[in-house]
């Protein structure tokens, strides 16, 4: 859920760097927990179903990040006149569409975690 808020802030023009929202699924706190979960946790029905939406969440975020935070050029002129990148309206609109997909994937992860919790209770 924090991811959704951070991504929305990025789309609204609030600067974030990629360390605030890890791009790779193995870099986030949840991904590290998920990939190191004990055999007992992995045996819970529904555990494996979390992987696909979690991976998709990161993939969509990566697309949004690349639309809104383009790679900086390495040339001398670019470094001399380095400023906040101007994001086109087209990229902002694409990011907003992708944001809806990101929210859906986030909801799927949370719903699956809730199902697992209910099974444990």
pLDDT digits (tens, 9 = 90+) for 28-86: 888 899 999 999 889 988 899 999 999 999 999 989 988 887 666 555 454 444 555 67
State which residues form the domain around 24.
2-120
Q: CATH no. for residue 28?
A: 1.20.120
Neighbouring CB atoms inside 10 A of 78's CB total 11
Instruction: Provide the whole-model pTM.
Output: 0.78
Domain tally for the chain? 1
Torsion of CA 9, 65, 89, 78, to 10 degrees: 110
Q: Phi/psi of residue 28, each to 5°? A: -80, 160
CA 7, distance to chain mean position in Å, is 7
The residue whose two tokens read 């050029």 is: 73
């Amino acid at each position: 859920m924090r991811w959704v808020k951070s991504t929305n802030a990025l789309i609204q023009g609030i600067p974030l760097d990629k360390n605030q929202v890890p791009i790779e699924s193995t870099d986030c706190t949840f991904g590290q927990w998920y990939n190191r979960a004990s055999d007992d946790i992995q045996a819970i029905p529904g555990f494996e179903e979390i992987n696909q939406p979690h991976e998709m969440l990161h993939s969509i975020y990566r697309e949004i990040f690349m639309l809104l935070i383009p790679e900086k050029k390495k040339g001398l002129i670019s470094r001399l006149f380095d400023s906040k990148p101007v994001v086109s309206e087209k990229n902002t609109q694409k990011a907003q569409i992708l944001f809806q997909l990101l929210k859906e994937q986030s909801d799927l992860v949370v719903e699956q975690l809730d199902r697992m919790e209910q099974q444990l209770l």
